[in-house]
A = this chain, B = another copy of it.
Amino acid sequence: MTSTRTPLSSLAPDELARFLADKQAAYADLQARGLKLDLTRGKPSSAQLDLSGELLNLPTTTKDRAGADVRNYGGLEGLTELREIFAELLWVDVDQVTCQGNSSLSLMHQALSYLLLWGGPDSERPWRDEPSVKFVCPVPGYDRHFSMLADFGIEMVTVPMNDNGPDVAAVADLVRDDPSVKGMWIVPTYANPTGSVVSEDVAAELMAMPTAAPDFRIFWDNAYAFHHLTEHEAKSADALSLAQASGHPNRPIMFASTSKITFAGAGVSVLAASTANKTWFLRHLAMGSIGPDKINHLRHVEFFGSADGVRQHMRRHREIIAPKFAAVDAALTAELDGLGIAEWTRPTGGYFVNLDVLDGTATRVVDLAKQAGIALTPAGASFPHGQDPRDRNIRLAPTFPQLDEVETAMAGVATCVALAAAEQLSK
């Protein structure tokens, strides 16, 4: 739809004053409704969790395919039959895959801990013994990546996140000469929060670029690899093969999980990497584990049946959540299209809509929404240390509420965006 509205910044003063008064009235009405809605976190809804209800009655046996008793100790790599399913889904070899417990965030925390305490297979020393360690952070990005880095005392250097992935020229500049730049995080498919998909070209450049650090790591967090919102199902770039072909086989470590496939709190996690990386990871993991929860592995194997079982299951998720994403777009379009005060993504997968409002108003929008009973993720959450330099970014998470709640909440959010912009422009 093409809007016939006049951009807010082009309004005459009296027109702007009238717009502001309209929005103040609309906001007063909104507040009077006493809403209590929450768009803060990317959580699956009850209806999505119900799709995996059968898991609660599984497994039907206690032996894995090799005849091992899944109830007992052992099997550090995870069940082979589960590893096979994820190898197929992630386009990697089963030998490159280990499956562990709930969750991939834990695997990332472990991998980073091991790098700090021991260094990787190609490190000159433990990262903790380096004068400083920096990570490249595409922004906006996932708040938990940033908070983990902050807790580890790792300095964050930002680069823009584009539609086809991180700004690869900016990344290459940062890593070329500074050996303290040790790694970066990427959500390659349907990124949190922008929904971008890293193209094969960008992935190839990231895997090939020269780095001053001999042990540069890309944490390839493929959390939404299978989480399509349309019939166009993006295929993740083949990071491990690209890295191998470029002579940097140990650069990427790939992570995935079923947290947003089966049960968010009781899923299985996946790490895929070069032989050297995987051996290194399992050697340290073995010091603190006699094996993952293999019953839950078998439970998932029986539930999915195959990689195709996962794909079909994800289509059932899509049926539930795609209308919620459409509702976000519809509400924002209805209220804001053409006003020149907001841009938002129409993601084809993942869990988030990225909303950029008028510079300097994101905090105000979140505050207005809160006072109207609509909880949004704090402004700036998608930036290191929660600091959005332009104060314009808001992450919307529409999966958890019911569809009608999303509609109501987003209409309210759109009112808040318009009001905050009018306030700002009237100053």
On A, residues with C-beta under 8 Å from B are 41, 43-44, 46, 49, 52, 56-57, 59, 62, 69-75, 101-103, 105-106, 108-110, 113, 116-117, 128, 144, 147-148, 151-152, 259, 263-266, 284, 287-296
- CA separation between A293 and B101, bound complex, in Å? 9
Partner of A287, one of B69, B72, B109: B109
Task: Report A61 CB to chain B, min CB distance, Å.
Answer: 9
Is the Cβ of B148 less than 8 Å from the Cβ of A288? yes
| 5 further A-B pairs in the complex, CB-CB below 8 A; given A56-B295, A265-B290 | A72-B263, A106-B289, A109-B289, A265-B292, A293-B296
- Taking CB atoms, residues of chain B closer than 8 Å to A69 are 46, 49
Is the Cβ of A62 less than 8 Å from the Cβ of B71? no
| Closest CB pairs A-B (n = 7) | A109-B288, A266-B295, A71-B263, A266-B293, A49-B71, A73-B264, A148-B287
- Taking CB atoms, residues of chain B closer than 8 Å to A290 are 103, 105, 264-265
- CA separation between A75 and B74, bound complex, in Å? 28
Residue of B nearest to A148 (CB): B287
Is the Cβ of A105 less than 8 Å from the Cβ of B73? no
**Given known A-B contacts A43-B73, A72-B49, A284 and B151 have beta carbons under 8 A apart:** yes
- CA separation between A291 and B288, bound complex, in Å? 19
The main secondary structure of chain A at its interface with chain B is: loop
Task: Report A153 CB to chain B, min CB distance, Å.
Answer: 8
Is the Cβ of B293 less than 8 Å from the Cβ of A110? no
Task: Report A320 CB to chain B, min CB distance, Å.
Answer: 15
Is the Cβ of B101 less than 8 Å from the Cβ of A102? yes
**Given known A-B contacts A56-B59, A103-B290, A113-B113, A295 and B72 have beta carbons under 8 A apart:** no
- CA separation between A106 and B46, bound complex, in Å? 31
Is the Cβ of B57 less than 8 Å from the Cβ of A288? no
Is the Cβ of B44 less than 8 Å from the Cβ of A102? no
Task: Report A228 CB to chain B, min CB distance, Å.
Answer: 21
Identify 20 residue pairs between A and B in the complex whose beta-carbon atoms are under 8 Å apart, listed by A's number. A43-B72, A49-B62, A49-B72, A71-B263, A71-B264, A71-B265, A72-B264, A72-B265, A73-B264, A75-B265, A101-B101, A101-B102, A109-B287, A109-B288, A113-B117, A151-B287, A263-B295, A265-B295, A266-B295, A293-B296
- CA separation between A325 and B266, bound complex, in Å? 37
Q: Which of A71, A109, A116 has the most CB of B within 10 A?
A: A71
- Taking CB atoms, residues of chain B closer than 8 Å to A144 are 287
- Taking CB atoms, residues of chain B closer than 8 Å to A110 are 288
Residue of B nearest to A284 (CB): B151
Q: Which of A44, A70, A109 has the most CB of B within 10 A?
A: A109
Is the Cβ of A117 less than 8 Å from the Cβ of B72? no
Task: Report A125 CB to chain B, min CB distance, Å.
Answer: 12
Is the Cβ of B108 less than 8 Å from the Cβ of A288? yes
- CA separation between A72 and B43, bound complex, in Å? 7
**Given known A-B contacts A62-B56, A148-B287, A287-B148, A265 and B73 have beta carbons under 8 A apart:** yes
- CA separation between A57 and B41, bound complex, in Å? 31
- Taking CB atoms, residues of chain B closer than 8 Å to A294 are 265-266
Q: Which of A74, A113, A264, A288 has the most CB of B within 10 A?
A: A288
Residue of B nearest to A151 (CB): B287
Is the Cβ of A117 less than 8 Å from the Cβ of B128? yes
Residue of B nearest to A108 (CB): B288
- Taking CB atoms, residues of chain B closer than 8 Å to A295 are 56, 263, 265-266
- Taking CB atoms, residues of chain B closer than 8 Å to A116 are 117
- Taking CB atoms, residues of chain B closer than 8 Å to A102 are 101, 292-293
- Taking CB atoms, residues of chain B closer than 8 Å to A113 are 113, 117
Task: Report A175 CB to chain B, min CB distance, Å.
Answer: 24
Task: Report A312 CB to chain B, min CB distance, Å.
Answer: 20
Is the Cβ of A288 less than 8 Å from the Cβ of B105? yes
Q: Which of A44, A72, A110, A289 has the most CB of B within 10 A?
A: A72
- Taking CB atoms, residues of chain B closer than 8 Å to A103 are 289-290
- Taking CB atoms, residues of chain B closer than 8 Å to A56 are 59, 62, 295
Task: Report A45 CB to chain B, min CB distance, Å.
Answer: 9
